[in-house]
Amino acid sequence: MPDSVADMGEFALIDAVTARFPQGRPVLLGPGDDAAVLAVPDGRVVVTTDMLVEGRHFRRDWSGPRDVGRKAAAQNLSDVAAMGARPTAITVSLAAPADLDTGWALEFADGLREECDRVGASVIGGDMVGAEMVVVSVTALGDLEGRQAVLRAGARNGDVVAVCGRLGWAEAGLKVLSRGFRSPRALVEAHRCPDVPYDAGPEAADMGATAMCDVSDGLLADVGHIAERSGVRVDIRLSELGVDEPVREIAGVLGADPVAWVLTGGDDNALVATFPAETALPERWRVIGRVEAGSGVLVDGEPYAGPSGHTHFS
């Protein structure tokens, strides 16, 4: 096997990467031509794209290639789920230094496959280019399967706000790594790759969710998107939100505020949605607040002091 991605060559690497993915039923024509062909039984396609930049979204001394691959896929697949759709396929573009080890690229592909396997999605193509650092761009596609897409713009006065998934774990893991530690392992792994409740997106749509968003920039920031697009105010209740014990425990060790991590930490890719108040929600959906008339986001009836989450150009 060639030592570096430059020795391997662009098309040989893309072929090696995509060959590691069995093609699913929606894929009528996979990699090998100028474009792939997908079946679209619903007649509509959900499309999203996201980017990971080395040094900004991950560090190779903190995250292995499998972690980077899984995270790159997860960030996009979760956006598809947040629309109430089932992810079906992704395309991947990789920018990398010429001397990047071939094994790194192939393990990265394994990570992509592992995350896509969770939802039955396929990798149907991609591109590669030389760069001074590793940059990954993923485009994901999804199938609404007859559902109406759940937008950010549908929340109504009187709805409840509920979350499915973990909050504050990835931020806690980032703080642990930043201090030079590698444990608690569960928190470090949460930073390296989120544990996304993919099936909760279509589930929420089937239960009549009025608005939905994945939590990638921070709960307050992403709930703020729903509030702004819906023309309402959201009040988050700390007594209902809670803090998971691993997050609370390490915050105590580090002398940090765990509530701030839960409210503003990103990269957990939980799903947050609004529902009519009478909706009977499954246990994994935790009601954490209410939708009211007005604008903005409150915490226990008061504006939150401090940044609401991640900002891309800070």
Residues 240-260 have pLDDT tens digits of 999 999 999 999 999 999 999
Tell me the binding residues for substrate: 57, 267
pLDDT of residue 30: 80
What is the per-residue pLDDT for 4?
77
The predicted model gives 217-222 an average pLDDT of 97
Question: 5-143 — its CATH code?
Answer: 3.30.1330.10
E strand spans, the chain: 27-29, 37-38, 46-53, 86-96, 122-130, 135-143, 160-164, 211-215, 233-236, 270-275, 286-292, 296-299
Q: List, as residue ranges, the binding site for ATP.
A: 126-127, 152, 216
Alpha-carbon distance 76 to 70, whole Å?
A: 10
Query: For 219-240, what is the mean pLDDT?
Result: 98
136 falls in which pLDDT band (50, 70, 90)? very high
Least confident among 8-22, 59-73, 107-121, 288-302: 8-22
Q: 17-31, 75-89, 218-232: which range is least confident on average?
A: 17-31
The domains of the chain are located at 5-143, 160-299
- Whole-model pTM? 0.91
Known binding site: residues? Answer: 34, 48-50, 57, 79, 126-127, 152, 214, 216-217, 267
| Per-residue pLDDT, 1 | 64
Range with lowest mean pLDDT among 28-37, 123-132, 203-212: 28-37
Average pLDDT score over the chain: 92
pLDDT tens-digit map of 153-170: 999 999 999 999 999 999
Instruction: Report the pLDDT value the prediction gives residue 24, as an integer from 0 to 100.
Output: 52
DSSP type of residue 38:
E
101 by Cβ neighbours in 10 Å (0-12 / 13-18 / 19+) ranks as middle
Question: What's the pLDDT score for residue 238?
Answer: 96
| Percent of all residues in the chain with a pLDDT value above 90, rounded to a whole number | 81
Q: What is the pLDDT of residue 25?
A: 59
Give yes or no for residue 236 having a pLDDT over 80: yes
Give the CA count within 13 Å in the CB-facing half-sphere of 236.
Answer: 28
Which CATH code fits 160-299? Answer: 3.90.650.10
Annotated binding site for Mg(2+): 34, 48-50, 79, 127, 214, 217
